[in-house]
Amino acid sequence: MTTPREAQSGAPASASRRRLLQVGLGGAALLGLGGLGFWLWRPHSARVAPSDLKALDAGAWQILAAVAACICPEGKGFPSADTIGVASRVDALLAGLHPTTVSEIRQLLGLLENPASGLLLDGRIGSFSGADSETQAKILAGWRDSDIAVKRAGFKALSGLCASVYYSHPDVYAHVGYPGPPDYGNVRRKEAGAAPAAPAGPTAVPAEGAR
Amino acid sequence: MSEQAGTEPRAPVQGAAAALEGALPAGISSAMDLRGHVRARCDVVVIGSGAGGAVLAAGLAEAGHSVVVLEEGGAYTKADFDLQEATAYPQLYQERGTRATADMAVTILQGRSVGGSTTVNWTTCYRTPERILSHWRQAHGLEFSEESLRPHFEAVERRLSIATWPEQNANRNNQTLGRGARKLGWEASPTRRNVKGCANSGYCGVGCPVDGKQAMHVTYLRDLVAAGGRVLADCRVDRIALTPDGGRARGVEASVLDRASGKTTGATLTIEAKVVVSSAGAIHTPALLIRSGLRDGPVGRRTFLHPVVGIGGVYAERIDGFYGAPQSMASHQYIDRGPDKMGFFMEAVPVQPMLIAFASGQFGAGLRGMMAQLPHLSVLIGLAVDGLLPGDEGGHIEVEGGAGDGGGRIRVHYPISAALRDAMAAMHEALAKVQLAAGAKSAFSLHREPVQLQSEADLPALRSAPYGALEHGIFSAHQMGGAAMGKDPARAVVTPSLRHGRVANLFVVDGSVLPTALGVNPSQTIYGLAHHARTAVLAATREAG
Ligand SMILES: Cc1cc2nc3c(=O)[nH]c(=O)nc-3n(C[C@H](O)[C@H](O)[C@H](O)COP(=O)(O)OP(=O)(O)OC[C@H]3O[C@@H](n4cnc5c(N)ncnc54)[C@H](O)[C@@H]3O)c2cc1C
C-alpha cells in the first residue's frame, strides 16, 4: 500500500535529486498515525485551550499553539504568538474550511506530536510540544526538508497558516515597519476594534490617479 | 447598451421581473434570508458573478431578458473593506485564502464574492495577444483574430475605463522592475488598468476602498440591476439539472450558505431557466460540470495556472511596496524563449505583510528578520505561460467523493513539468538580475533555504538551486482552462460560441474556456469573450421561446 512513487511533480532534473514520497496512500497511512497519537498521548503543554474552539479539540489546539510559537517566536520586541492568539485565530479560520481539510490538519498535528511517529519518522524521543524550542525548530525544519511529501506539505500548511495569521495582526505591523492601511473614511472599521493607530498613509499618491 | 461608460441610470426593462416566479429579492441581495425550498423561474440563470458572468449577464438583462446571477460568496461594498489582510483573505477569497494544489506546492489565489476575482484583482488589463490567437487558430481551431475581437475589447475598455497607467504614478516596487529591466536592455512598459478615480492606495487585493477599481460589482453588475436583473449572494449552485435524456439543462439546484460559518443554512433553491450559464471560474466550472454528470470531452483537464515564482530585493532606500498600485509595470522580454521552452513575463506584487510572510516560506527568526525589512523590500514575480508547448497538459480538477456539507472536496492537481521547472529557474535568474540591476543591496529567493545574492557573481548558486514542487514558493492568481473552447468536440467542452458541446442551452462563460494560458493577465480576455458570447446566448434564449 505504501509504494513510494515519484512525486506528481514529475521526474527530477538530476538523478541525484532526492525523491518526495507522494501524499497518496502513504500519506494517508502516515496521517492515520497522527490520528492514533490523539488516543495515546496528551500534548505536553502548559497552555490552556480556550473553551470555545470552533474546529480543533483542546489537544490539537495545544500542539498548534506550540507550532505557532516556533514559527513566530517572541523576541526582538515582537509579541509572542500566544499574545497574538495565533492558534485560536487559525482555529477560527479552519472552521470555514471543508471538513476533510480540517481533519487532515488535525491528523497532521497528531503526526507531529506523536512520540511513536516521531521515533519512526524523525528518530526522536518524546512529543513535539514537550520539546524545548530549539528542538522544535529542528523538528519543523526537518519536516520542511523531508523526503516524505506529507511532511513537507504539512510544514507548508502549518507554517503558512501561523505566519499569515501572525503577520497580518495589527499589533505586529509596527515591528515590520508597516504603517497599516490608510483610512479612507469609508469603513465601519472603527467598531471592529482591530484598526491600527492612524497610519502615515501611502506616499506619492496622485490625487486623482491617471484621470 | 452598457458600453457607454457612465453612471446614468438605465430604465428597468418592463416585464423582466414579472417572468420570475417565487420570492427572489430585487437588486444585489443575500440569499441568507430565504427559508425552506424556494422555486423560481427566469430566462437565464448565471452561476458566478465574476469577470465572465457579470459581462454576459448585463448584456442579457439589457436585451430584455430576466436574469438571475447566483454567487456563492458574499455581497460587499467598499464600506465593508477595512483593508486588513486578516479580514479580506478569509472574506473575499476561495477557501478563505488557503486554496492550494492537492500536494500543497502551488498556492492558489482566487476570488469568491460578488464580483468574483475582479473584486480582489490587481487591475492589470491586456487584450489577448496576437501570438496567442494565432496559436489558437493553428492548434485549437479557433478563428478569433485581433480584428474579430476588437469590438468586444473596445466595448469593455469603455465600460471599465481601461487605460494606460502613467509611469510616473508607479510605486517604487514597480519602478524597480522598470528600472532594472531597462538597465539590462530589456523591454518594460507601463500596464493598462481598469480604474476610474484610482487613489493609488495599493489595496486592490483586499477590496478597493474608493470604488476606483472598475470591478464587476461597481460596473456590469450595476448595469444588470438597472436593467431589472438580480444577483443572489451566499448561494452556491450544487448541480445543473438536466432533462432525463441529458440533452437540455432545466435549471440549477442551489444551497444557501451562512456567510460567517460557510455552512449550508438548510434553505435550498431550484431555478428553472431557458438557458443556464456556468461562470463559476476555472476550477469551479469544471467541478460543477463533473458534479452534474457532464463529463463530456476533456472536462477538468488542461487547467493552467500561469505558475508564479518570486524574488525579493533589499534596498537601502524605502520602497514602501505596500502602498501604490500593485501592478503598473511589466516586462515581456522572455515571453518567447524559443520553440521548446516555456516563456514567461514579469510583474510586481503588493508588498503587504501577510502576503509576503506567507510567500517567503521561512519561519522563526529567519522569517522575522526578513519581515523586519518590509519597507525596504521589493518583490517581483515571473509568470510562466503554460499550455502552449506540445504535450503541456497543465493540471486537472478532481471532485472527491463525499456527502455532507459542501459535498466532495474540489482538488486541483498540477504536476510540475520539466519545461516548467526550466522556466522557473530562468524566471529566478531574470528576476534576480532585475533586482540587482535596479540597485538592490541583495536579492533573495523564496526557496526553503533562500538563495542570497549580492551581485551577479552569485548567480551560479541560484542556477544550482533545486526547482520544483515544495522546493520554493509557487503561486497562481490566474486560473485558466478545464472546459476549453474549440472546434473538435473530442478536444473541447464548449464551441467557439461558448455553447456546451452536447447540452444546447448550456453555456460556459469564464476563464475555464481558455484552451491555453495567455502570457498576459487574463481578465480582459475573459471580459471580451463574455461580450462575444452575448450574441449566442441571446439567440439561444430566444430559440427557447
Ligand atoms: C489576487 C488576484 C489578483 C489578480 N490580478 C489580476 C490582474 O491584475 N489582471 C488580470 O487580468 N487578472 C487578474 N487576476 C485574475 C482575474 O481576476 C481572473 O482571471 C478573472 O476574474 C476570472 O474570471 P472568471 O469569470 O473566470 O471567474 P471569477 O472572476 O473568479 O468569478 C467566478 C465567481 O463564481 C463564483 N462561484 C464559484 N463556484 C460557484 C458555485 N458553485 N455557485 C455560485 N457561485 C460560484 C465564485 O465565488 C466567483 O465569485 C487576479 C486574480 C487574483 C485572485
Nearest Cα neighbor of B385 from B492, B510, B521, B484 is B521
Average pLDDT over residues B54-61: 98
Grid cell listed for B541? 434564449
Please name every residue paired with B344 in a beta bridge, in sequence order, or none if there are none: B384
Q: What are phi and psi of B23, to 5 degrees?
A: -110, 65
Helices A25-40 and A149-167: angle between axes, nearest 10 degrees: 60
Grid cell listed for A171? 499589533
**In a 10 Å sphere around its CB, with 0-12 CB exposed, 13-18 middle and 19+ buried, how is residue B196 labelled?**
buried
For residues B271 and B251, what is the distance between their CA atoms, to the nearest angstrom?
Answer: 5
Grid cell listed for B371? 519581515
- Mean pLDDT of chain B, nearest integer: 94
Contacts of A105 in chain B (CB under 8 A): none
What pLDDT, on a 0 to 100 scale, did the predictor assign at position A42?
66
Grid cell listed for A211? 484621470
Q: Predicted confidence band at A200 (pLDDT cuts at 50, 70, 90)?
A: very low
**pLDDT tens sequence across B10-35:** 333 333 443 454 568 889 999 999 99
Please name every residue paired with B230 in a beta bridge, in sequence order, or none if there are none: B27, B68
Residue of chain A whose alpha carbon sits nearest to that of B90:
A93
**Is B280's C-beta closer than 6 angstroms to any atom of ligand 1?**
yes
> Which residues, 6 or more positions from A191, have their beta carbon under 8 angstroms from its beta carbon?
none
B28-B34-B40 Cα angle (round to 5): 75
Q: Å from A25 to nearest chain B CA?
A: 13
Nearest Cα neighbor of B283 from B110, B530, B522, B91 is B110
Grid cell listed for B157? 475598455
For residues B357 and B360, what is the distance between their CA atoms, to the nearest angstrom?
Answer: 5
Grid cell listed for B40? 423560481
C-beta separation of A198 from A119 below 8 A:
no
Please report, in angstroms and rounded to a whole number, the separation of the first and last CA atoms in chain B.
23
> Which residues, 6 or more positions from B8, have their beta carbon under 8 angstroms from its beta carbon?
none
Grid cell listed for A20? 518526495
In the predicted structure, residue A34 carries a pLDDT above the cut 90: no
* Residue A44, in any domain of the structure: yes
**Is B50's C-beta closer than 6 angstroms to any atom of ligand 1?**
yes
Q: Å from A84 to nearest chain B CA?
A: 12
Sheet of B162-164: strands edge to edge? B124-125, B192-194, B162-164
What pLDDT, on a 0 to 100 scale, did the predictor assign at position A5?
33
What pLDDT, on a 0 to 100 scale, did the predictor assign at position B5?
35
Q: Å from B440 to nearest chain A CA?
A: 19
Sign of the alpha-carbon dihedral angle for B212, A183, B82, B104: positive
For residues A204 and B375, what is the distance between their CA atoms, to the nearest angstrom?
Answer: 15
The number of residues making up chain A comes to 211
* Residue A198, in any domain of the structure: no
B482 sits in the region (left: phi over 0; alpha: psi -120 to 50; else beta) called left
* Residue A167, in any domain of the structure: yes
Bridge pairing between strands B308-314 and B377-384: antiparallel
* DSSP states of B418-432: HHHHHHHHHHHHHHH
Grid cell listed for B511? 476563464
* Residue A146, in any domain of the structure: yes
C-beta separation of B303 from B163 below 8 A:
no
Please name every residue paired with B100 in a beta bridge, in sequence order, or none if there are none: B107
Question: In 10 A of CB B15, how many CB atoms?
Answer: 11
Query: Which span out of A31-40, A115-124, A196-205 was modeled with the highest average pLDDT?
Result: A115-124
In the predicted structure, residue A8 carries a pLDDT above the cut 50: no
For residues A182 and B413, what is the distance between their CA atoms, to the nearest angstrom?
Answer: 39
Grid cell listed for B104? 500543497
Q: Which residue range(s) make up the domain with A86? A: 25-191
* DSSP states of A93-113: HHTTS-HHHHHHHHHHHHHHH
**pLDDT tens sequence across B305-341:** 999 999 999 999 999 999 999 999 999 999 999 999 9
Model ipTM? Answer: 0.94
Q: Which of residues 112 through 171 in chain A touch B, CB cutoff 8 A?
A: 137, 140, 144-145, 149, 152-153, 156-157, 159-170
Q: In this complex, do A209 and B200 lie within 8 Å of one another by their Cβ atoms? A: yes
Q: In this complex, do B418 and A161 lie within 8 Å of one another by their Cβ atoms? A: no
Q: What are phi and psi of B207, to 5 degrees?
A: 95, 120
Helix (H, G, I), strand (E, B) or coil at B442: strand
For residues B383 and B308, what is the distance between their CA atoms, to the nearest angstrom?
Answer: 5
Helix (H, G, I), strand (E, B) or coil at B458: helix
Number of domains in chain A: 1
Average pLDDT over residues B133-143: 97
Alpha carbon A187 to its chain's center: 30
For residues B144 and B161, what is the distance between their CA atoms, to the nearest angstrom?
Answer: 24
**pLDDT tens sequence across B398-454:** 999 866 556 789 999 999 999 999 999 999 999 999 999 999 999 999 999 999 999
**Is B72's C-beta closer than 6 angstroms to any atom of ligand 1?**
yes
* Residue A166, in any domain of the structure: yes
Q: Which of B288, B523, B526, B532 to mutate to test the pocket of ligand 1 (most atoms within 8 A of CB)?
A: B523
C-beta separation of A154 from A111 below 8 A:
yes
CATH ID of B79-115+171-207+303-480, from 3.40.50, 3.30.560, 3.30.450, 3.30.70: 3.30.560
- Mean pLDDT of chain A, nearest integer: 77
Ligand 1 atom with least separation from CA of B122: 8
What pLDDT, on a 0 to 100 scale, did the predictor assign at position A114?
85
What pLDDT, on a 0 to 100 scale, did the predictor assign at position A118?
73
**Is B523's C-beta closer than 6 angstroms to any atom of ligand 1?**
yes
Q: Is some CB atom of chain A closer than 8 A to the CB atom of B82? A: yes
